Structure 1
Amino acid sequence: MMNQSIEEFIGLNIDNIPYEVIRLDLEHKPNSKTYVANNQNIKYFTERIDLMLLTTDNNGVINSISADFNTIITQNFYDALLEGYGTPDSMSCSNKIMNVNEQFHKNGITTVETNITLRTCGFHENPTFIIWNKTKYQIVFSLNHELNKTDLRISTKFILSP
């Protein structure tokens, strides 16, 4: 299993990463390309990534990395993240659900939009977001405790601020 700091891929050309990738044909992103690396035994700190999405600009330069973990971050994983990245810039959890908007579409798909307020919290308070702002990128963990799932996004674009 290769142990690589995947955040180091930000700013690299997609041809220069040590994994085999397949380009996805996503028409809704005209100024970018999306690639998938799966079944590559990618190790990220203490966890294994089975599927990693990499988004590039039209020149193939990676500007975003996404991965899913089919579990909530454990204390062991969090401790490894602290050792690697230092104290998070922001950790927050759901405070109050403001409203829920559910829409039923003609094609049978249902979308649900939920607006919540957040409050600062600690790791043992079941955070919803853990964010590190680094010089060249931002690391965002989104934790869904109800689904026992954690999403990771490393991006050159700041998608959330503390």
Structure 2
Amino acid sequence: MDYIEFEKVLGKHISIAEEVIGTDFENKLFGKSYYYIADELIKKEFCGTRYNMLTIMTNEKDTVQSITVHFQKVIDRQFYDVFIEKYGKPDNIQIIENRKVESESVIKDDNGKIVERLRKSTLNLKEGSFEEKPLYIIWKKEGFEIKVFLKHKQNISEITFSIKNT
């Protein structure tokens, strides 16, 4: 299966990203260090799953620090199995053990309809399995880290490849 090896771009100049990822991204938001795919109609695949948003963070020298692939669905078992085939078993699979809402506020429009709901929550995480709907799946590789963030209720996922903090 073909897939982009995002980890090969980490620590390199942003110009290398064009060679590996393509030229469909630009940096018109948030200054110079934030790159993204500009056209929402552009569809790409990673490990057999379509995505249309990719963000690249660089430092002041335009060296790539992290790449995040955004999916408009929660990754499934088939994707996870392909990912394990490429990167091995994860170091951590973290599931929510306990969620406590600390505070909540609601903003309503003039008609009393809720337009925004803000919650501050505290989460306790524990090790689990993919079948337990994890919040995070983490791989710690030599020189880089992969963190999968699964938002089950919103039906979205993010995979971030980043330079490992030493």
Relative to the length of structure 1, the TM-score reads 0.82
1:78 match = 80
Counterpart residue number, 1:36:
36
- The alpha-carbon deviation at position 6 of structure 1 amounts to 1.5
User: Which residue of structure 2 lines up, in the alignment, with residue 124 of structure 1?
Assistant: 131
Question: C-alpha distance in 2, partners of 1:125/1:75?
Answer: 12
Unaligned runs of 5+ in 2: 108-114
2:63 is equivalent to residue 61 of structure 1 = yes
Unaligned runs of 5+ residues in structure 1 are: none
Give the alignment partner of residue 89 of structure 1, picking from 91, 98, 123.
91
Name the Cα RMSD after superposition. 2.3
Partner of 1:22: 26
**1 CA distance for matches of 2:11 and 2:139?**
18
Q: Tell me the distance in 1 between the aligned counterparts of 2:49 and 2:93.
A: 20
Sequence identity, in percent?
22
Cα displacement (A) at 1:52: 0.4
**Distance in 2 of aligned mates of 1:87 and 1:148:** 23
For these two proteins, the number of residue pairs brought into alignment is: 151
Determine which of 151, 157, 164 is the counterpart of 1:144. Answer: 151
Give the 3-state SS of the residue equivalent to 1:16 in structure 2. helix
- Alignment correspondent of 2:11: 11
TM-score, length basis structure 2: 0.80
Partner of 1:135: 142
Asked which structure has the greater CA Rg, the reply is 2
Q: Deviation per CA, 1:44-69, whole angstroms, max 9, x where unpaired?
A: 21212211000001111100111211
